[in-house]
Amino acid sequence: MNPDDIALIYQQYQDLVAAGNHEQAQAFIEESAQKMSPQMRNTLIGEIASMSFEDVAKEREELTAMQKKTIDAYNELEKVKAGLEGQGGSETIDK
């Protein structure tokens, strides 16, 4: 078994999880692991854990980027609001 095989197993596992088939995903990993030597099972488990951590880190980075964009947009809206209030339009702006 090579890294490509492990990546393929992991991708199939992720596809099942993404589709909401958690039990089927677990069964798939167990079935795949049973076909391997103990050493390869350990490698598979380690690689799956590593790939999972990488996926979580990537999701967090994407979430952080979205949060930053949201904060930036909010700050821009606050500037527009302040500008409108300075022009005497405060009665039309909710506070």
pTM summary value:
0.57
Amino acid code (one letter) for 19: A
User: Which token pair is 90?
Assistant: 């405060």
* Predicted local confidence at residue 27, as pLDDT: 94
Q: How far apart are CA 67 and CA 75, in angstroms?
A: 12
- How many H helices and E strands in the chain? 3, 0
Taking only the tens place, the pLDDT of each residue in 5-52 is: 888 888 899 899 889 999 999 999 889 888 888 888 888 888 888 888
- 86 falls in which pLDDT band (50, 70, 90)? confident
Burial call 31-70: b when 16+ CB within 10 Å, e when fewer: ebbeebeeeeeeebeebbeebeeeeeeeeeeeeeeeeeee
